[in-house]
A and B are shown apart, each in its own frame.
Chain A
């Protein structure tokens, strides 16, 4: 716990606040002075302790679980240590196709997409590397990101290509990257519109927040009602268009898109509210100055507003990335992971195993997810987040 001890309490970033200079010999005041000196510790320690208390045990417990088999026995349970067997099952054994997917034939188009994405990735990485002096450690870090990123790209493009079948890992990526990008764009658009001086904007602001406030299970069931092709409100529309005998349910991408729409509906408000708060706290002077200089709306947005809200925007994207990796209720309720395993996310995969007492494999899936999220998180923070914020 003491590792949060501030070694130096010299304020960061030129903060020149000095401890109070008063030296009145009253115990109460002394206490205050002492507390003031220790402010760095006092402020952070409670939060660190609470998080630590509830995280360290589960983290280690499930790590061990992923290397073991769970057995109920008289009076309790027992773990049988099996080493990496659970992971082997996922990566090369019977769960491989379920977890990683099956590679299809890439074809010309597939190769073009793969090469284009890889090139884009390489350019981003290169620019990030060049932004600061190159040290061996940074080189190593970027090297790891490059290899892992390219492998992930290859897996994603290869399994999505014709003849292939994306496993739960790739499906989760689709939900996360596709979903978060859309949520961010729509959330930003709505926030910008709502930050204007429009009559009636309060109404829109409150309305736009609503989806976030419904319990995720409830949202998922609501969307199951809405997307039902027999009893849902859009059934007559589909009939009228001549799609009475077609259902999104039977098409893997149709089902995935249905899941993503539900997720989009629910989580755009989060992006919206945070970005709106950011837009409203930005300082008006630069905008006013730019208007005086005759800048266009778009120029103001691109060069002044966006950089100002970039730290918040980047944070909110990071939080959503982490949360989106855990997408569970929507596929579970909407499709149960079907058709086949087309809409199954990693968390759902872990949950199905967990529910059947296969705690070991379930924990292995969860830990694989943890690795992926940590990796994406660190890469995101290092490559992007630190560049738009002065914070880490």
Chain B
């Protein structure tokens, strides 16, 4: 990095540097060894895996391409299709999540929201009624109508200024993150029914929608703190120059929050890229993603380590590339200081 002015304050002394390298190297080994093991397992014949550990190709065992051949040639399209799905769903859902999440976070960190508890309760009651209506065999259109009615009622309650405690920004944020508290097994059947009613099963759209909803809370929470650190003076001077909210967000806030955005993007992309249970239920043939293929390698004959290793290596490749590219942008966070200075 060309930011020489910053090097002097944090450059460690020789002893500290040695200690730092020692710790970093140890952890790098801890991280890399399992990956090395995956990499060599991908080239082993089953017998070489099962006989006992072997460590170095050519010395310990004769590497074989049998697993690669099976995954890339024998399976062919059955590997390619899930792979493309994973790429498309991963990128689309992460970009959408980041856009929606950044907007929402900006709103939450610059505006004050006050919601009446009463209207939330009315809304919840309406939703319960709608769900109960479905349970007792009402057509789902009617239930949806009931739900919309509940929304309207909630809105009316809010308007009529009924008293009672109000919820603020912090409560909205907590409500968002609380959506990740229920374990996936509890939500997967209702989500399945939801998408079945929308006739979106086995489409990439369903996965994108599900992942955006699932990952938005995390995006909002991670971004809040970065947005918080952005000095308000810059926004003020922009506003005086005649920029509107959206321009301020797009031209000033987002560039300044870049390290946070990149870290967040990387994280939600990885979550979408690797998600299993929702993918399992929302897809059956056309929209299957790679994690299903990995999990499927444990079948009636026990885990097929060699195939599994190949698939994991195939999956991790693009993400590493992404990490290498984006790592530069995290480092560019240093510029923030320059702007401030």
Contact = CB atoms under 8 A, between A and B. Distances in A.
Interface of A: 1-22, 32-33, 35-36, 39-40, 42-44, 46-48, 50-51, 53-62, 64-65, 79, 186, 189-190, 193-198, 202, 204-218, 221-226, 230-236, 265, 270, 273-274, 276-278, 280-285, 287-288, 291, 297, 311-312, 315-316, 318-319, 322-323, 325-326, 328-329, 333, 346-347, 350-351, 354, 359, 362-363, 366-367, 369-370, 373-374, 377-378, 381, 386, 389-392
B113 A377 contact: no
Contacts of B183: 325-326, 328, 346-347, 350-351, 366, 369
Contacts of B37: 222, 225-226, 233
Given A44-B113, A232-B53, A2 B23 contact: no
Contact of A281 (B220, B260, B270): B260
For this complex, into which size category does the number of interface residues on chain B fall?
35 or more
B21 interface: yes
B184 to A, nearest CB: 7
Contact of A222 (B131, B216, B312): B312
Contact of A17 (B101, B178, B245, B315): B245
B308 interface: yes
Interface stretch (B63-71, B73-81, B320-328): B320-328
B154 interface: yes
The 8 residue pairs across chains A and B that have the minimum distance between CB atoms: A392-B170, A43-B107, A366-B186, A47-B104, A54-B213, A215-B274, A40-B111, A58-B187
B311 to A, nearest CB: 8
Contacts of A370: 181-182, 186
Interface in B228-278: 228-229, 232, 235-236, 239, 242-246, 248-249, 259-260, 262-263, 266-267, 270, 273-274, 276
B163 interface: no
Given A369-B183, A392-B173, A64 B131 contact: yes
A362 B194 CA distance: 20
B110 A12 contact: yes
B36 to A, nearest CB: 9
6 contacts: A47-B103, A58-B187, A198-B17, A236-B53, A273-B266, A315-B222
B109 A196 contact: no
Interface string B162-188: 000001111111101111111111110
Contacts of A36: 244-246
B267 A44 contact: no
B11 A47 contact: no
